[in-house]
A = this chain, B = another copy of it.
Amino acid sequence: MNVLIYNEYLHEKEEGEAKRLYPEGIHHRLAEALLGIDDSLQFSFATLEDHAYVITEEKLRETDVLIWWGHMAHHRVEDHVVDLVCEAVNKGMGLVCLHSGHESKVFRRLMGTRCSVHWRVDYENGNIWLLDETHPLCQGVANPIRLEAEETYSEPFDVPVPDELVGITWWKGGEIFRSLCVYKRGHGKIVYFQPGHETLGSYYNDDVIRVIDNAIHYTAPSVRISELTSRYRLPEEKDVRKALYQAPEERESLVVSWDELGNGTVRYTGAEHPHTYELNVDP
């Protein structure tokens, strides 16, 4: 399983608590902790500094799951990278969005909302209550998960209703937060998980790490597509049409391309139908 971790990696380079806790960066701590319990994972890394070079179309094609941690420099992530990531998720790549990543360009674009929260940093404890202990994200995890100290996020959390709401955090100061949510976008699964403030030690919490490991396996793609299916014309020829209604692996050979004028072409080459059909596609 190929896991790519994007970590902004700014806080941990400045003197202070973040550096003390995560001297090599949050991404290295996550990889270390996950490898400690799961030897099926292969990690690679991207940071704000190098993200535009590391996160390429090719890199994403061989990535099963992308973990995203960002905070104060969301606006410095390049738009073409955001395009690539959102397209890769829609094609089937898994995405695990951590903590303040809820406001990243990537997550906001996939949600279609502002993704805002209310927040405090009072270093207070929280309990993450798991609503369904049989859910794959909850395997091997205590209920509730005890957070000794974490940044307080509060509802209203401005996201679409999750496809699966798995966990809700109670905060000592009076707030609650939907902290473990699953979304589907295109062929890809997305998990949002709240813990991980840079000056607090949640990534040393065994249950938190276990949930992230579960999330990697839960969002790992069962089906990847090589090109996003565009709006295409169902052919009227009866045999092509029959071919279209075949198993997914055969249909992958049906692709659509768009030229710069917005005209599209469908090319279909099936096992039983060795001809290539070119059909005009509505702009």
Closest beta carbon of chain B to A143's beta carbon, Å: 6
Decide if A186 touches B283 in the complex (CB within 8 Å).
no
Closest B-chain residue to A117, C-beta based? B231
Q: Is the interface of A mostly helix, strand, loop or mixed?
A: loop
Contact A222 B139 (CB under 8 A): yes
In this complex, how many residues of chain A approach chain B with their Cβ under 8 Å: the count is 80
Cβ–Cβ < 8 Å partners of A75 in chain B: 262, 283
CB of A54 closer than 8 Å to a CB of B: no
Cα(A119)–Cα(B92), bound, Å: 23
Within 8 A of B (CB), among A148-188: 152, 154-158, 160-161, 163, 165, 168-171, 174-176, 178, 183-187
Contact A134 B223 (CB under 8 A): yes
Q: Are B132 and A184 in contact (CB under 8 A)?
A: yes
- The residue among A116, A146, A176, A232 with the most chain B CB atoms within 10 A of its own CB is A176
In the complex, whether A71 has a CB less than 8 A from a CB of chain B is yes
- Whether B175 contacts A129 by the Cβ 8 Å rule is yes
Let me know if B156 and A229 touch, CB within 8 A.
Answer: yes
Are B131 and A156 in touch, CB under 8 angstroms?
Answer: yes
> Among residues 114 to 137 in chain A, which have CB atoms less than 8 Å away from a CB atom of chain B?
114, 116-120, 122, 127, 129-134, 136
**Inter-chain contact B129/A176, CB cutoff 8 Å:** yes
